[in-house]
Structure 1
């Protein structure tokens, strides 16, 4: 089923989403499209979007040392979430137990355990 999803954007964990969104807004020229204390997003302007989500007790990645690995997850879009879920499972992924997105998005884990989301847009 190639083409069922398309790459939509990336979301980075952080302690202060508005601050990180402002940094990347200036760095990339993308416009802030959503902004709360817990989540901020940059409009991808036709390309991938960027999101920033608050994580309590955030520990910054240690680069290149990996005692604290990089924190982010990929976001994808699909027209039909049920079909996308079936496809993810067929590919070896799993649907995460915690599903905070309701009908707007679903959280999955890739075969290595990395989370990613699929939304309807």
Structure 2
């Protein structure tokens, strides 16, 4: 057995049940454990996340500098438009950001509690021109 095993990505939020439901649906996963102050899930691909109650949680303000990134998640998707529709239907919202350069097409969002994440297209795209 390894000395250290990967644990959970844990996000603080005021309503862990609601945030767990968002990510459970988005990751096509299941809830694996819940207490009064913490909910744990496992995504269909095995990713484990937990959501911890913090009644004083302040949503990150990224991309604004005040109270900026507290955590950031990247998710790989095959179709950005389909994934965006799912995120928005579940209560997430697109973030106003400048177009990022690089070899992958990507878009930024926030979950219903304000944590930022990026959807990155798994297929290679041609470099952006201009």
What is the TM-score normalised by the length of structure 2? Answer: 0.47
> Which structure has more RCO (C-alpha within 8 Å, separation ≥ 6)?
1
Structure of larger gyration radius: 2
TM-score by length of 1: 0.50
